[in-house]
Amino acid sequence: MLAWLTMTRPSMLRLSPRRALAVFNVGLLQGAHWVCFFLSVSLSSVSVALAAFATISLFTSITEPLIERRAFRLGELLCGGIVISGILLITGGIDPHHKSGLLVGLAGALLHAIFPVLNRDLAAKGTPPKSMLLYGMGGACFMSAIILPFLSPYHLQVPSSSDWIPLLTLSILCTTIAHTWNIRLLRRLTAYTANLTMNFEPVWGILLGAVIFQEYTELETSFYLGAILIILANFIDPWLKKARACKL
């Protein structure tokens, strides 16, 4: 993004020191979320980490009203209750040695419930999405660089030559482009609604984890029931909002 803006829109490289620091600080939270998510995968499995990731809507239903100082919405809290039920089922459907991965994943989901709310406020104030991505990713990389050396060698490995194509795909397609559009959408959507769309990731991820890594052999029926409940909650919420809008 730095190279792209330098060539195309150098004016976007210049933010006021106060605004740049605010975006950088939000990036610190995002970097901590990254570490929690991938550490959760390493400690448990793809499916467990993604099930924890799906609880973002629960945490956002709490953090967004607190940060924006608005009233709590009954529909969001109702869906949050369904998510909690799903978490309890998932906890009973995984091996005890996977529970540490679930807890780390939940911590990452909590972090992810905070920084989109802060990004939405910065975007609403007119901060260009590409500038936000540049300074935010700087903060995320800085936080990652601080945390990673403290992890054991098992969880921190130097990439090999065959890793760079998937890493570039993740960094350019799934991070730079995807996050730029996500920030742009935050000008029109609430952080809660934006986070709901991300809960499609567990659907595809759990299915791929089952197919590619045969994780279904390690997980009990209650895990999948819990995952279904969490995913279902993310479809109930927009339905409730649409029904409420029709009544108005």
The predicted-structure confidence for 83-142, as pLDDT tens digits, reads as follows 778 877 877 777 777 889 989 999 999 998 888 788 888 888 888 888 888 899 899 999
Both tokens assigned to 141: 């990389």
Q: Is 69 left (phi over 0), alpha (psi -120 to 50) or beta?
A: left
d(CA 59, CA 111): 9
Is the CB of residue 67 less than 8 Å from the CB of residue 90? no
Residue 173 reports pLDDT greater than 90: no
Give the global pTM.
0.76
User: How many residues comprise the chain?
Assistant: 248
d(CA 121, CA 67): 10
Q: What is the pLDDT of residues 201-244, one digit of tens each?
A: 777 777 777 788 877 776 778 878 887 887 787 777 767 767 76
Both tokens assigned to 14: 């210049």
Residue 44: name the closest of 118, 95, 9, 107 by CA. 95
Q: Say what the alpha-carbon torsion angle 200, 36, 79, 89 is, to the nearest 10 degrees.
A: 100
d(CA 92, CA 224): 11
What are the backbone dihedrals phi and psi of residue 175, each rounded to the nearest 5 degrees, phi first?
Answer: -120, -65
